[in-house]
């Protein structure tokens, strides 16, 4: 048994349930969604190490109060507990895979910054916004 949820064979989520869930979210949250450019997704997958299993999403806010969404390539590490051999899955970020050496020799690490929040980039006609 693992500490992660099993993935369903069918990744589809019922629209009616998604509408209820997103409506509940909008009641308390300022940002309703983020638009992610297709090329940015391709880039994170292509630049990540071959053993990438997942992409982790972090939410943040810049100094001006603008919401941010950061994506990081990550991989699963499977371990077993000593006492009962229970499988534990740890998801480790691969941030160091995006290191860039600066002219002064220092290393700067980067994550992907997806900052197209809704609002203002909302699709007001989407069934998930009604």
| Cα gap 68→62, rounded to integer Å | 7
pLDDT at 14: 86
- Cβ count near 72 (within 10 Å): 20
Model confidence pLDDT, tens digit, residues 28-78: 998 999 888 888 888 888 877 777 888 889 999 989 988 899 888 888 888
**Ranges assigned E (strand) in 1-129:** 33-34, 54-61, 67-80, 87-93, 99-101, 107-109, 112-114, 117-118
pLDDT at 128: 92
Mean pLDDT across 97-115: 81
């Amino acid at each position: 048994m693992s500490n992660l949820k099993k993935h369903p064979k069918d990744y589809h989520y019922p629209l009616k349930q998604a509408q209820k869930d997103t409506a509940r979210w909008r009641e308390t949250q300022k940002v309703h969604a983020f638009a992610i450019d297709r090329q940015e997704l391709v880039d994170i997958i292509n630049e990540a190490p071959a053993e990438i299993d997942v992409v982790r999403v972090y939410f943040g806010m810049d100094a001006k109060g603008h919401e941010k969404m950061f994506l990081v390539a990550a991989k699963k590490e499977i371990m077993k507990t000593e006492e009962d051999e229970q499988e534990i899955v740890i998801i480790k970020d691969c941030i160091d895979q995006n290191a860039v050496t600066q002219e002064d020799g220092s290393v700067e690490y980067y994550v992907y910054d997806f900052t197209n929040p809704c609002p203002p980039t909302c699709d007001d006609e989407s069934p998930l916004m009604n």
